[in-house]
Structure 1
Amino acid sequence: MKTTLTDPRTGLARGTAPVSREREVAGAVAAARAALPGWSALTPRERAVRLGLLAATVEAEAAEYAACERAGTGKPEPETAGEVAQVADLFRFYATAARTRTVPASGALVAGHESWVRWEPVGVVGVVVPWNYPLMMAAWRCAPALAAGNTVVVKPAETTPDSLVLLASHAAAVLGEGVLQVVPGDRATGRLLVESAVDMVAFTGSPEAGRDVAARAGTRRVSLELGGNAPAIVLPDAPPQTCAALAEAATYNAGQSCAAPARVIALAENYDRVVALLGAAMTERVAGRDFGPLNNADQAARYDRIVAASQAGHSATGTVEAAAGEEKGYWRPARVLADLPPADPAVTEEVFGPLLTVERAATVEEALALANSVPQALASSVWTTDLERGIDLASRLDAGEAWVNCHLVQTAELPHGGRGSSGHGTDLSVLALDEYQRPKTVTVRVGRP
């Protein structure tokens, strides 16, 4: 069985991909199970060497990986090139992180006994990743899981299997057969993987799908990253570059980033100025030149529905410069919607497009309350030249990540994870290793009887 793949730049078919069903999913899980004893028995140094080789392979084949990413996402070349470089960096980071892990206290903690903690892999990890960052989201999950000694079966999004199929072929050569498996397919394929004989499920996607995954996983370990709706509090003393920086972050990947700024909150005294500056900055961001299209027809229709339902009293809309032959693609211009009521769907839902809303707050405390008023709690930012106040507000924002005078600044060393309906668990940093390992306390009686 095969599914038709669509080029989001044109809206036209670009090829086909297999749809994995029960036999293929069970076979991939069995292969990962068979590879687990050998992979987990390697020392951290030996796994690090192999993960380093995979990173080097990604770098050597960067042009092919970038072409795969562009085919499925329509992203501009600079975006795909940068993301492929980040993927190689992630595998290198976790190759080293697994060798330098700290552990709880060990030694003679009970008289006559010696105790220590072993960190053991969970086993076979089933990973389900979305279409907005096909390769990078897979690396966020796979790199720490593999570094911790697990084997992995990945189900890519239906619209973007290309780069992960390529990664699996390279992984087989440098990590070993069965260590990293890929099962392309649709939602039914994802459900089959979640319900298969994997020991853990790591899922990145929508809250609705995440709840379904958690229910199907039962008592097995689950790590969930379920999207965001990030607020950006812009105070009257915000730096001059604030609106331009927010516009750039909000349109990167056409706004299809879980941590992207979505809800700008300004005080009454600077509200009109922020609306004007954001409108100007967003209209300067041109679809087809500065950012790509939405990923698929369903997402484009959802985006259009939310915008059409919005009760905005003021708006600004940018332009689209699609190339010849791309007129039927899923292009949407950068857009600002202002004067919105708190219950407006553009405010309460994760829009996942090149859109910024602007809300008015009478006081800083009200701005903070508005920022924390939605169920998603993944990322946030504060913009002010008063760093003491900025740091204080960052500490009071209910989100897994808070930036001051910047947004979407991330690196492998720093953790990323959500709260509330944005899920639970940690991506990135050494803390992500905890997601894919189990501690075992070993105590030996050494004293006299």
Structure 2
Amino acid sequence: MNTTLIDPRTGRVRGTSPVARESEVRSAVDAARAALPGWRGLTPRERSRRLERLAALVEDNARAYVEREAAGTGKPDSETAGEVEQVADLFRFYASAVRAQQAPAAGRLVDGHESWVRWEPLGVVGVVVPWNYPLMMAAWRCAPALASGNTVVAKPAETTPDTLELLAEHAAEALGPGVLTAVPGDRRTGRLLVGADVDMVAFTGSAAAGADVAARAAGRRVSLELGGNAPALVLPDAPDDTWAQLARACTYNAGQSCAAPARVITLRENYEETVERLAAAARDCLAGRDFGPLNNPDQLARYDGLVKASAAGRSIAADIAPRPGEENGFWRPARILADLPDDDPAVVEEVFGPLLTVQRADDLGAALALADGVPQALAASVWTRDLTTGLELAGRLDAGETWLNCHLVQTAELPHGGRGASGHGTDLSTLALHEYQRPKTVTARLIPRS
């Protein structure tokens, strides 16, 4: 059984991909289970060396990764090349981090006894990743899981299997057979993996799918990253480049990023200026020239439905500039929606496209209430020259990651994770290692010498 793959830049068929079912999923999980003793038995130094080799293979084959990522997502090379570079860096980061873990207090904590804590891998981890960052989201999940001594079976999104399959090929070469396996397929494939003999599930996707995953996991550990609807608080003294920065962040990956700015919130005194300057900045961002298309027909229909359902008084759209032969791709322009109710569908739902809504508030307290007034709580930003006010607001926002005078600035060293409807768990940083480990306390009674 195969699924048809569509090039989102053209709307045309670009090939097919196999769809894994019970036997294929079971074989992959069995292989991961068989590889687990050897992989977890390696010293951190040896696992680190093998992960370094995998990072080198990603770098050596960067062009192939870029081409595959572009075919599945439609992203321009300027985006995919940077993401491939980040993936190699992430494997290198966790290759080093696993050798420098900090354990809880150890020593003679009870009189006559010596105690310490061992961090042990969970076992086989099932990873399910989305189509917006097919390679990078896989690395966010797989790198810390592998570094911690787990083996991984990963399922890519149905529309973007290309780069994860290549990563699994290189992992077999660098890490050994069965340590990281890819099982391409559809939603049923993902459900089969969640229900298989895995010890943990790491899922990145929609809130509805995340709830289904948690139910099917049946008590096993689950790490969920379920999307966002990020507010950007723009104060009257915002830096001059605020609008250009927000427009670029909103259109990166066609806005198909869980942490992308989505809801601009201003005070009444700078509302009109914000709408005008955001609209001008958005017009400088052209789909086809500066950013790619939406990923698939379902996302296209969902995006169009939310725009159509919006009661915005003003809908300001930029142009699109597809290349010859790409006119029928899934292109949508950068768009600003203003003069809309606070319960507008484009406000309360994650649009996941190159769109910013603009809302106004009477004061900072009301602005914070609007920012925290949706179920998602993944990311947020504040824009002001007043460092004291900016840091205070960043601290008060209900979000797992906040920025001041920037947005979407991330690095392997800093944790990323959500709250509320955005899920729970930690990606990136050394903290992510503990997502895929469990502590064991060992206490030994010291027997006096006779």
Q: Equivalent residue for 1:69?
A: 69
The reply to whether residue 396 of structure 1 matches residue 396 of structure 2 is yes
SS in 2 for 1:321: coil
Equivalents in 1 of 2:127, 2:378: separation in Å?
Answer: 20
Q: Equivalent residue for 1:82?
A: 82
SS in 2 for 1:228: coil
Q: Equivalent residue for 1:172?
A: 172
Equivalents in 1 of 2:78, 2:43: separation in Å?
Answer: 37
Could you list the runs of 5+ residues in structure 1 that have no partner in the other structure? none
Letter in 1 for 2:75: K
Equivalents in 1 of 2:319, 2:22: separation in Å?
Answer: 45
Q: Deviations over 1:167-223 (max 9, x none)?
A: 111110110000000000000000000000000000000000000000000110000
Equivalents in 2 of 1:35, 1:340: separation in Å?
Answer: 55
Equivalents in 2 of 1:180, 1:74: separation in Å?
Answer: 26
Equivalents in 2 of 1:351, 1:164: separation in Å?
Answer: 26
1:315 positional shift: 2.1
Q: Deviations over 1:391-411 (max 9, x none)?
A: 000010000000000000000
Letter in 2 for 1:295: N
Q: Equivalent residue for 2:110?
A: 110
Q: Equivalent residue for 2:49?
A: 49
Q: Equivalent residue for 1:281?
A: 281
Higher alpha-carbon deviation: 313-322 or 229-238: 313-322
Q: Equivalent residue for 2:416?
A: 416
Letter in 2 for 1:125: V
SS in 1 for 2:110: coil
Equivalents in 2 of 1:77, 1:108: separation in Å?
Answer: 56
The runs of at least 4 consecutive aligned structure 1 residues that moved more than 4 Å come to: none
Q: Is the 8 A contact 1:112 1:448 kept in 2?
A: no
Letter in 2 for 1:260: A
Equivalents in 1 of 2:430, 2:58: separation in Å?
Answer: 22
Q: Equivalent residue for 1:27?
A: 27
SS in 2 for 1:192: helix
Q: Equivalent residue for 1:358?
A: 358
Q: Is the 8 A contact 1:227 1:350 kept in 2?
A: yes
SS in 2 for 1:108: strand
1:420 positional shift: 0.2
What is the Cα-based RMSD across aligned positions, in Å?
0.7
Equivalents in 1 of 2:28, 2:57: separation in Å?
Answer: 23
Equivalents in 2 of 1:112, 1:360: separation in Å?
Answer: 64
Q: Is the 8 A contact 1:376 1:422 kept in 2?
A: yes
Q: Equivalent residue for 2:269?
A: 269
Equivalents in 1 of 2:340, 2:152: separation in Å?
Answer: 44
Q: Equivalent residue for 1:338?
A: 338
Give the alignment of 1:148-163 within 5 angstroms: 148-163=148-163
Q: Equivalent residue for 1:435?
A: 435
1:283 positional shift: 1.0
Equivalents in 1 of 2:357, 2:242: separation in Å?
Answer: 15
SS in 2 for 1:130: coil
Letter in 2 for 1:15: G
Q: Equivalent residue for 2:14?
A: 14
1:389 positional shift: 0.4
Equivalents in 1 of 2:15, 2:5: separation in Å?
Answer: 5
1:316 positional shift: 1.1
Equivalents in 2 of 1:301, 1:147: separation in Å?
Answer: 39
The reply to whether residue 225 of structure 1 matches residue 222 of structure 2 is no
Matched positions, count: 449
SS in 2 for 1:109: strand
The reply to whether residue 181 of structure 1 matches residue 175 of structure 2 is no
1:324 positional shift: 1.5
Equivalents in 2 of 1:218, 1:282: separation in Å?
Answer: 45
1:448 positional shift: 3.7
Equivalents in 1 of 2:272, 2:364: separation in Å?
Answer: 16
Equivalents in 2 of 1:236, 1:257: separation in Å?
Answer: 27
Equivalents in 2 of 1:14, 1:174: separation in Å?
Answer: 30
Q: Equivalent residue for 2:308?
A: 308
Equivalents in 2 of 1:215, 1:340: separation in Å?
Answer: 36
Equivalents in 1 of 2:219, 2:213: separation in Å?
Answer: 12
Letter in 1 for 2:184: P
Letter in 1 for 2:442: V
1:6 positional shift: 0.3
Equivalents in 2 of 1:137, 1:57: separation in Å?
Answer: 18
Q: TM-score, normalising length from structure 2?
A: 0.99
Q: Equivalent residue for 1:254?
A: 254
Q: TM-score, normalising length from structure 1?
A: 1.00
User: Identity of counterpart residues, as a percentage?
Assistant: 72
1:438 positional shift: 0.5
1:447 positional shift: 3.6
Equivalents in 1 of 2:173, 2:93: separation in Å?
Answer: 20
Equivalents in 1 of 2:14, 2:56: separation in Å?
Answer: 29
Equivalents in 2 of 1:144, 1:62: separation in Å?
Answer: 21
Letter in 2 for 1:376: Q
Equivalents in 2 of 1:125, 1:21: separation in Å?
Answer: 18
Equivalents in 2 of 1:285, 1:78: separation in Å?
Answer: 14
Q: Equivalent residue for 1:216?
A: 216
SS in 1 for 2:109: coil
Q: Equivalent residue for 1:197?
A: 197
Equivalents in 2 of 1:229, 1:219: separation in Å?
Answer: 28
Q: Deviations over 1:55-76 (max 9, x none)?
A: 0000000000000000000000
Letter in 2 for 1:216: R
Letter in 2 for 1:224: L
Higher alpha-carbon deviation: 50-59 or 320-329: 320-329
Equivalents in 2 of 1:95, 1:75: separation in Å?
Answer: 28
Equivalents in 2 of 1:171, 1:195: separation in Å?
Answer: 24
